[in-house]
């Protein structure tokens, strides 16, 4: 495996953990992870890259080794603002090459629309938005949000890293034992003889506001960077979360689009087919 190193960067009052691979003089490639994930999750993709890159991958606030925020709930706009601070820290002037998976893909795409001059190339991995909420769902959504604040969710403890790795393989049969063990030791930490995920349980609190597809499309339409959108053939993204017709409608909002689908991969396509994904990304980047 390619070795990584850690840095901690002050971002909006939080000590932000950033994982870096490669030589500081190499071209920069930013990678941002998804929900209930960590930056080390990109290890297999980084290992598959053929060119020399300085890969810069933060743990989002409240994940991995990044500090948890003092508030009791997390808001999508904070990730976008955090990314802006991190981009300016590592690339104060030059536009960045940006890869985002799932939640990270959504954040990266909104950021690229809000600050189009700051993104040179965008790669969106399975980050095409959530199910569009209906107006009449709003009262129930706010009620659920308040209920969860009153009784915050908890994260399940695991007996050992091996137990966590086994649970990961149950959720994704494509994971090898070696990959699952690596991920377990970066996703989890040992506390009082149990292994718990390196994540603030408050991330499981439902978003109080509904996902508004028109707002997302407006951000996507404002992107000026060439954009590569990658879906996984066997992902629930196109079966459970978004139907194929809606998927096509969402992609139509991107003006400079290259589209790809990876076979024999689920939503965690950077785990399932890192070599195929690395080839797509590097063929797309200048």
Element (DSSP H or E) covering residue 258 = strand 257-262
pLDDT at residue 259, as a whole number:
96
User: Quick one: pLDDT at residue 131?
Assistant: 83
Task: Supply the mean pLDDT for the chain.
Answer: 96
285-to-14, 45, 56, 226 alpha-carbon distances in Å: 31, 15, 16, 9
CATH of domain 4-132+212-284: 3.40.50.1820
Cβ–Cβ < 8 Å for 34, 45:
no
Where do runs of H (alpha helix) occur along 92-133?
Answer: 103-114
Question: pLDDT below 70 — which residues of the chain?
Answer: none
Tokens of 10: 């002050």
What does the pLDDT read at residue 241?
80
Predicted local confidence at residue 159, as pLDDT: 97
pLDDT attached to residue 184: 98
Quick one: tokens of 126?
Answer: 């399975």
Quick: pLDDT tens for 227-249.
Answer: 999 999 999 887 778 888 899 99
Question: pTM score, two decimals?
Answer: 0.97
Write out pLDDT tens, residues 87-116: 999 999 999 999 999 999 999 999 999 999
Cα–Cα distance for residue pair 49/123, rounded to 1 Å: 15
Can you give the pLDDT at residue 244? 85
Closest by CA to 183, choosing from 203, 168, 204, is 168
Among 239, 221, 110, 277, residue whose Cα is nearest residue 247: 239
Measuring CA to CA, which residue among 81, 66, 62, 128 is closest to residue 100? Answer: 128
Q: Is 11 helix (H, G, I), strand (E, B) or coil?
A: strand
In this predicted model, what pLDDT tens digit does every residue of 248-259 receive, in sequence order?
999 999 999 999
Q: Count, in order, helices (H) and strands (E) of the chain.
A: 10, 10
| Closest to 4 in 3D by CA, of 72, 50, 51, 53 | 53
């Amino acid at each position: 495996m390619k070795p990584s190193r850690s840095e901690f960067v002050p971002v909006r009052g939080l000590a932000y953990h950033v994982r870096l691979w490669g030589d500081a003089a190499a071209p920069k490639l930013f990678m941002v992870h998804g929900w209930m994930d960590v930056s080390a999750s990109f290890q297999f993709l980084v290992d598959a890259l053929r060119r020399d890159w300085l890969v810069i991958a933060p743990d989002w606030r409240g994940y991995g080794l990044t500090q948890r925020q003092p508030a009791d709930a997390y808001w999508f706009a904070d990730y976008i603002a955090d990314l802006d601070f991190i981009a300016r820290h590592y690339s104060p002037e030059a536009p960045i090459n940006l890869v985002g998976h799932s939640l990270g893909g959504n954040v990266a795409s909104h950021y690229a629309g809000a600050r189009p001059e700051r993104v040179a190339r965008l790669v969106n991995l399975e980050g095409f938005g959530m199910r569009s909420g209906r107006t009449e769902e709003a009262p129930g959504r706010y009620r659920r949000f308040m209920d969860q604040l009153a009784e915050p969710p908890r994260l399940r403890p695991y007996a050992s890293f091996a137990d966590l790795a086994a649970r990961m393989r149950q959720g994704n049969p494509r994971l090898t034992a070696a990959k699952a063990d690596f991920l377990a030791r970066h996703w989890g930490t040992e506390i009082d003889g149990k292994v718990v995920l390196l994540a603030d349980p408050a991330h499981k609190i439902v978003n109080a506001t509904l996902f508004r597809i028109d707002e997302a499309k407006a951000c996507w339409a404002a992107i000026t960077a060439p954009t590569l959108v990658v879906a996984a053939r066997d992902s629930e993204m196109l079966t459970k979360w978004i139907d194929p017709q809606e998927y096509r409608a969402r992609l139509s909002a991107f003006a400079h689009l290259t589209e790809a689908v990876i076979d024999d991969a689920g939503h965690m396509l950077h785990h399932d087919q890192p070599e195929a994904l690395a080839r797509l990304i590097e063929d797309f980047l200048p």
